[in-house]
Amino acid sequence: AQSVTQPDIHITVSEGASLELRCNYSYGATPYLFWYVQSPGQGLQLLLKYFSGDTLVQGIKGFEAEFKRSQSSFNLRKPSVHWSDAAEYFCAVALYNNNDMRFGAGTRLTVKP
Amino acid sequence: DTGVSQDPRHKITKRGQNVTFRCDPISEHNRLYWYRQTLGQGPEFLTYFQNEAQLEKSRLLSDRFSAERPKGSFSTLEIQRTEQGDSAMYLCASSLGLVAAKETQYFGPGTRLLVL
C-alpha cells in the first residue's frame, strides 16, 4: 500500500546541535517529495521539494534534504538548530498524475536552550 | 498579497448543526485544496478544485460534506449534520502552475472545528 512514514513522533535537540528528521515512502514509482513545517497558529510552510536530479536539495531556513532511492527515504537535516525551529515537520509525497498529496503523521521538534 | 486566508479560525458547534467554512486563496491561483487534520496526524486530502471545477474528492468526504468554488475564487466547505468525529482542523491551500503534483501549495492557518 502507498504510504508515507515518519518514524519519529517527537524529537528533542539542544540549540546549536544538528538535526535529522526521517521520512520513508512506499510507492510504486518515485514520487515528488516535500517537507513542510507547521508552527502553532500558522499555516504549513514549504521548506523544500524534490522532483529529480541532484539528490541533495537545499531549502529555506538552512534546511536540506537528501533523497536516497535505494532506501526510499527523504530525510531532512539542519546542521545547527535554532530555538525558532521548534515546530511540527511533515514529509509529503505527490504523484505526477494524482492531485492527492499525502502527508506523514509529522515529527514534533522541541529545542532545548 | 496576504496569502491564503480562512474564516472563521475557530468554530464550536453542537452535534447535528450545519457549519460552513470559507477559504480565500492567493489571488490568481487556479487550484484550491481542502484538507482535514486531526490531532497527531498530518493533513488528509479532502477535495480539489481547478478554477471552479471540483475535480477530485476523497473517500473521506462523505455526503454530509460539500464544497464549492463559485467563479473560481473563494471556496466554501459545508458540513451538514455535524458529528463529534468531524472535530478537526480544516486546512485550505492554493497553488498555481501547470503540473499540480509539482506545485507549491500555500496553506491557510486553518479553521479549528469542535463538535460538542
Residue A97 has pLDDT above 80, yes or no: no
Distance CA A92, CA B59 (A): 19
Residue from A39, A93, A101 whose CB has the most chain B CBs within 10 Å, to mutate: A101
Tell which wins on pLDDT, A78 or A40. Answer: A78
The minimal CB distance from A104 to the residues B42, B100, B102 is found for: B42
The minimal CB distance from A101 to the residues B41, B105, B109 is found for: B105
* B108–A101 C-beta distance less than 8 A: no
Q: Please list the residues that pair with A103 across neighbouring strands.
A: A92
Distance CA B39, CA A74 (A): 24
The shortest C-alpha distance from B35 to chain A (Å) reads 10
Other beta carbons within 10 Å of A82: 12
Using an 8 Å Cβ cutoff, are A89 and A35 in contact? yes
Distance CA A90, CA A36 (A): 5
Digit-coded pLDDT (tens) for B88-113: 999 999 998 777 777 889 999 999 99
Digit-coded pLDDT (tens) for A10-46: 999 999 999 999 999 998 787 899 999 999 878 899 9
Other beta carbons within 10 Å of B113: 20
Q: Determine the Cα angle at A4 with ends A103 and A101, to 5°.
A: 40
Torsion of the alpha carbons at A110, A61, B31 and A6, rounded to the nearest 10: -40
Place of cell 523544500: A48
Q: Encode A2-23: b = buried (16+ Cβ within 10 Å), e = exposed.
A: eebebeeeebebeeeeebebbb
pLDDT (average), residues A69-97: 93
Question: Mean pLDDT in chain B?
Answer: 92
